[in-house]
Structure formats: structure tokens, C-alpha cells
Amino acid sequence: MSEACTALPASAAVAVIGAGAMGAGIAQVAALAGHPVWLHDLRPGAADTAIAGIRAQIDKLATKGRLTPERAAAACAALRAAGTLDDLRDAKLVVEAIVEDLEVKRALFTELEARLADDAILATNTSSISITAIGAALQRPERLVGLHFFNPAPLMPLVEVIAGRATDAAVADTVFATSAAWGKTPVRARSTPGFIVNRVARPFYAEGLRLLQEGVCDAATLDAVIRDAGGFRMGPCELMDLIGHDVNYAVTRSVFDAYYGDPRFAPSFVQLELVQAGHLGRKSGRGFYDYRDGAPKAEAATAGPQPRPWRIALNLGHPVGAALSKRMYASAAQPLQTLSSAADGRIATLDEHTAVFASDGRSATAIAAALGLPAVVTIDLMLDPATARRAAIGVSAHCSDVARDAVIGMLQSAGLAVSVLADSPGLAVLRTVAMLANEAFDAVHQQVCSLEAVDIAMRGGVNYPIGPVEWAQRIGLDRVLAALDHLHAHYGEPRYRASARLRHAVLASPRP
Ligand SMILES: NC(=O)c1ccc[n+]([C@@H]2O[C@H](COP(=O)([O-])OP(=O)(O)OC[C@H]3O[C@@H](n4cnc5c(N)ncnc54)[C@H](O)[C@@H]3O)[C@@H](O)[C@H]2O)c1
């Protein structure tokens, strides 16, 4: 492995073992990159069937004009089924995508080691098994590396390149450069439970399940808020329904167990119950939602129309106040009063005694009690208050219905649908984003990867609208830390303890 950071040439043969969902996708990617590709599966005929499927996919891409006919023909011709492992002798890179079982993978790599040339690279697509543990069975564990694709492999840009304890840095460099040459976006990670994506994404599911468990809102409302205010492509409930609750629960369990029961990764009874009921999501016809024919579509709870209040004083020094002012201006029948700033950082004051705050990790009731205010409404975090379609709000215990409706009317007049959630600390989006960022900082703190790699991974592997680190920086790391500290104080649970790395970043940031 003398040529660090050099991709394997396209003439190098690639072998993919396991012709299931992932193996077929990886073989397609390698063939389209110009490599001769062997595909092997234990099940007789499986590799041939998969190759026929890949060729059909490639033909479809060519018909749509996404590939030249020459490139499509070359890729189709490059795919060959291997009857036995002996056929793979000339492979320079083997990517394993077989059953997720340590002993089975170890046995396969031991067989491969005996057949392949000394400079062949062995890569595993495992999503949860330690690269170090797989490599321990090999004579030369330094040539084993994790190459973790995301499903569907031809479409998802991310590849995690994972180094185990023994992995030669030059081997990791070569697969990094090779996957980049294949058009993928590689990131480097150390072999640790969940690697980057399956670890950092846990709070996206966990906080959603927590909100449902506490009755803060129902699944359809949560999904709508996370999508329409948070800017995520899918809410946690619809996404878990798509992944399958059995699969998602098993990944959570495996990460939780691998971290010796760290409560941050604790599985949820809400999800366990769905698994126990056989409500596994789309594939079983029911999950959080009912997918059976004729089942009514669940709608998000959305407040009915309210008149815009007469007196609104918006704080233009607050980004949400400024965005609301712009959005309301077009439709403003009455002039708005604006404040250049507000001493307590509020977004707005309505009818002189209702204070509107951005959620800061406290409930509206906690803010009202701390500031001695009669009526407080909190607005959940929005990815972009200038373009968000929905706002989620929480209402303090002593806030009247009239005051609540005035805030709803104000937000509606800015073109926002409004969902009133139970008065929960951090509501849905801020809580989720703060916990995602916390996990990102913790992964970096524990030397799993760089800050940049987390953001690339979460965008490319799970389609987040922006990386959690960049998002936290936009919000202000100090605000994210404060939200976590408030959640920690509220619940008294170690789950919400802030990452030491995040706290250090806040303390180390330049002072005005
Ligand atoms: N499905 C995903 O979303 C996903 C995403 C990333 C990584 N992964 C990982 O990729 C691997 C494969 O997952 P999948 O979803 O494609 O599984 P799959 O069940 O669709 O396919 C696995 C294939 O491997 C074959 N196989 C099993 N043992 C074998 C052996 N010893 N030798 C040769 N072939 C063998 C099976 O016959 C089957 O065709 C697993 O390690 C999984 O954790 C899966």
C-alpha cells in the first residue's frame, strides 16, 4: 500500500460478496465506475438474479438519459457472477455485504485471505460490528477496513470509511480515494459502536419517542413540526415506519448495549410496544400510521384561524422577531409596533401582557415563573423563520386562552400553520437539534471523527437539511448548551448532560 490517497485504477477487479440489497447496489456503483466486478452469493442463482436486476437498473438510467449508452453497456458487461470464492483470486478490492453476524463474516474473510493476493484490500459493509473484532480473525488484519454504504447504495452519497485498531492507514486512504472516484462522499471514522451516522442519529428517533411517551403531541403533529418547522425531509415517526420498527429498535439496542447501557441511547417502550404488536411500519401495513387500504390519513393538529391581535410589539433584534415582522408586513392591515430590542430577549409582546419567547430548553411555565410574567408562549426552533411553514408553540400554565389565541393569530398572519404542543421544555425541534448536536460533539470528543465529518455524514447518510454542528453554530453554541443544561435540570437525567466538548467550545469562543 505504498500509494497513499490514490484510488484503485478502474482496471482493478472488484469483488462484492452478498447479492442482497446492499451488495447489488455496491456492485452497481463499482461497475458504473468502470471496474470489472465479480458478484458472489452463497445462495445458488442469487448473484445471477441480482446482476439481471442491476442491468435492468442501468438500462433504465440509460433510457432516461442519465448514462451514455456506451457507459451503460460497459457497466453491464463488467458484471460477472462468481460461483465460488476461487473465482475472486484476481480481485484487488473485496467488499463484503453478507449477513450481519460476526462469526460468519470472520469465517468469510479467513477464506478470502487464503485465496487473494497479498495486496488485495478487504472491506466490510457492516453497519454495527466492530472492524477490530472482524479483523482479529485475520493473519493480516491491517488490510481490513470498514466501507459502510447507505441504502440504496447507488443513490445515497455517503460512505463511512472505518478504521479498526489494526487497519493500515494506507488501506483506509486507498478506499477513501476509491470511493470518492466512484462518485461517493467518503468520511473517515474510527471503529466505534454505530460509527458516525448510526450513533449521531439516535436522538432524532429517541427524542421523538420521548415526546410521544410524554404525550406532548401525537405522531402526525410531531412529524409535521419536524418537517415544516425543522426543515427535515421526514419526521421521526414516518421515518421509523419506513425503516421498520424491528430494525430501528435493534440498532438502538445494539448501540445502547455497546455503550454499556449509557442512558442517552436507551431504547423506548413506545417503540418496543409497536414491535411487540407486530406494527413494524410500512412493511407490515401498520406502525405509527395505518397504511392499510382505506385507512384514514392521520392529520397534524393545527390551530383553527384566529384574528390577528391589535397590539403586537415585535423585537427586531431577535431573528425570529425580525423574520415575523417581514412576513407579517405584506399582510398587515394594522401597523405593527416594533422594538429595537427587549431586555429579556423576548420575540414579541402582545396586547401588552403576553410575552413570546423562543424556546430555550425551558417550558413556557418555567420561563414565566423565572421572570415573574403572567403569560408566556414559547415558539419552537425553526430551521429558517423566514421560510418555515409551521410553528410549534407551548403555553404557560396561567396563560389565558385569549392570550394563546392572540399568539396563534399573530403567527397565522405571518403565514405559519400553528401546532399547540403540551408545554414541554425545548419543545420538539430545539430539543431534537440540541441533542443531535450534543451527540455530534461527543463523537468528536471521543475521537470517532472530525466535526466536519459529522456534518458531511449526517447530510449525505440521512439527508439532514444541514449538519448538526453547523446548525448548532447558527443557533449559537451557547444557546444550544443552555438548552441542554435546562433539559438536564428539568429531567435530572444523565441523558441530557452536555458534551464536555460542546461546553469547552462555548467557554473557548471569543468574548465580545
Ligand atoms: N440494508 C441496509 O439498509 C444496510 C445498510 C448498510 C449496511 N448494511 C449491512 O450490509 C450487509 C448486508 O445487508 P443487506 O441488507 O444487503 O442483507 P440481505 O439480507 O439483503 O443480503 C445478504 C446476502 O448475503 C448472502 N449471504 C449470507 N451469508 C453469506 C456468505 N457466507 N457468503 C456469501 N453470501 C452470503 C445472503 O444469501 C443474501 O443474499 C449487512 O452487514 C448489513 O448490516 C445494510
Whether 52 and 158 map to the same domain: the answer is yes
Domain boundary among 420, 445, 469: 420
Whether 185 and 280 map to the same domain: the answer is no
Q: Round to whole Å and give the CA distance between 304 and 405.
A: 9
Tell which atom from ligand 1 comes closest to the C-alpha of 46.
39
* Residue ranges making up the domain that contains 393: 312-420
**What is the residue-wise DSSP string for 25-37?**
HHHHHHHHTT--E
Residue 339 lies in a domain: yes
Does residue 41's CB lie within 6 angstroms of at least one atom of ligand 1?
A: yes
Domain boundary among 135, 162, 191: 191
Does residue 262's CB lie within 6 angstroms of at least one atom of ligand 1?
A: no
Q: Which residue's alpha carbon is nearest to atom 21 within ligand 1?
A: 20
What pLDDT was estimated at residue 211?
98
CATH of the domain at 159: 3.40.50.720
Whether 56 and 184 map to the same domain: the answer is yes
Give Cβ neighbours of residue 96 (< 8 Å, ≥ 6 apart). Answer: 17, 18, 105, 108, 109, 122, 123, 124, 125, 126
Q: Which residue's alpha carbon is nearest to atom 7 within ligand 1?
A: 127
Q: Which pLDDT band holds residue 335 (cuts at 50, 70, 90)?
A: low
From 22, 42, 126, 158, the mutation candidate for ligand 1 (largest count of ligand atoms within 8 A of CB) is 22
Q: Round to whole Å and give the CA distance between 395 and 388.
A: 20
**What is the residue-wise DSSP string for 108-158?**
HHHHHHHHS-TT-EEEE--SSS-HHHHHTTSS-GGGEEEEEE-SSTTT--E
Tell which atom from ligand 1 comes closest to the C-alpha of 50.
39
What letter would DSSP give residue 307? P
Residue type at 265 in one-letter notation: F
Give 315's strand partners.
339
Q: Round to whole Å and give the CA distance between 445 and 507.
A: 15
pTM for this prediction: 0.94
Cα–ligand 1 centroid distance for 99 (angstroms): 4
Whether 234 and 134 map to the same domain: the answer is no
Whether 185 and 218 map to the same domain: the answer is no
Give Cβ neighbours of residue 26 (< 8 Å, ≥ 6 apart). Answer: 16, 95, 97, 125, 149, 153
Whether 179 and 224 map to the same domain: the answer is no
Q: What is the mean pLDDT of the chain?
A: 95
pLDDT tops 50 at residue 316: yes
DSSP tally for the chain: helices H, then strands E: 20, 15
What letter would DSSP give residue 90? T
What letter would DSSP give residue 497? P
pLDDT tens per residue across span 56-106: 999 999 999 999 999 999 999 999 999 999 999 999 999 999 999 999 999
Tell which atom from ligand 1 comes closest to the C-alpha of 25.
16
Q: Which residue's alpha carbon is nearest to atom 32 within ligand 1?
A: 42
Cα–ligand 1 centroid distance for 123 (angstroms): 13
Whether 33 and 120 map to the same domain: the answer is yes
pLDDT tens per residue across span 272-315: 999 999 999 999 999 999 999 999 999 999 999 999 888 889 99
What pLDDT was estimated at residue 511?
74
Grid coordinates representing 20 are 442482497
Residue 146 lies in a domain: yes
What pLDDT was estimated at residue 332?
58
Whether 134 and 212 map to the same domain: the answer is no
Catalytically annotated residue among 40, 148, 245, 486: 148
pLDDT tens per residue across span 409-443: 999 999 999 999 999 999 999 999 999 999 999 99
Annotated catalytic, 245? Answer: no
CATH of the domain at 396: 3.30.750.190
Instruction: Give the three-state DSSP class for 94.
Output: strand
The number of folded domains in the chain is 3
Q: Which residue's alpha carbon is nearest to atom 26 within ligand 1?
A: 98
Which residue is associated with the grid cell 423506548? Answer: 268
Cα–ligand 1 centroid distance for 93 (angstroms): 17
Q: Round to whole Å and give the CA distance between 280 and 244.
A: 5
Cα–ligand 1 centroid distance for 100 (angstroms): 7
Does residue 17's CB lie within 6 angstroms of at least one atom of ligand 1?
A: yes
Cα–ligand 1 centroid distance for 96 (angstroms): 8
Q: Which residue's alpha carbon is nearest to atom 25 within ligand 1?
A: 18
Whether 183 and 206 map to the same domain: the answer is no
Tell which atom from ligand 1 comes closest to the C-alpha of 107.
31
Q: C-alpha angle 132/438/382, rounded to 5°?
A: 135
Taking alpha carbons only, the member of 255, 222, 207 closest to residue 433 is 207
**What is the residue-wise DSSP string for 392-454?**
EEEE-TT--HHHHHHHHHHHHHTT-EEEE--S-TTTTHHHHHHHHHHHHHHHHHTTSS-HHHH
| Of residues 333 and 219, more confidently modeled | 219
Whether 373 and 412 map to the same domain: the answer is yes
Residue 318 lies in a domain: yes
Tell which atom from ligand 1 comes closest to the C-alpha of 149.
6
What pLDDT was estimated at residue 352?
79
Whether 74 and 163 map to the same domain: the answer is yes
Does residue 99's CB lie within 6 angstroms of at least one atom of ligand 1?
A: yes
Does residue 146's CB lie within 6 angstroms of at least one atom of ligand 1?
A: no
Grid coordinates representing 10 are 478502474
Residue type at 294 in one-letter notation: G
What pLDDT was estimated at residue 1?
39
Domain boundary among 386, 402, 420: 420
Whether 203 and 184 map to the same domain: the answer is no
pLDDT tops 50 at residue 3: no
The backbone torsions φ and ψ at residue 421, rounded to the nearest 5 degrees and listed phi first, read: -95, 165
Residue 232 lies in a domain: yes
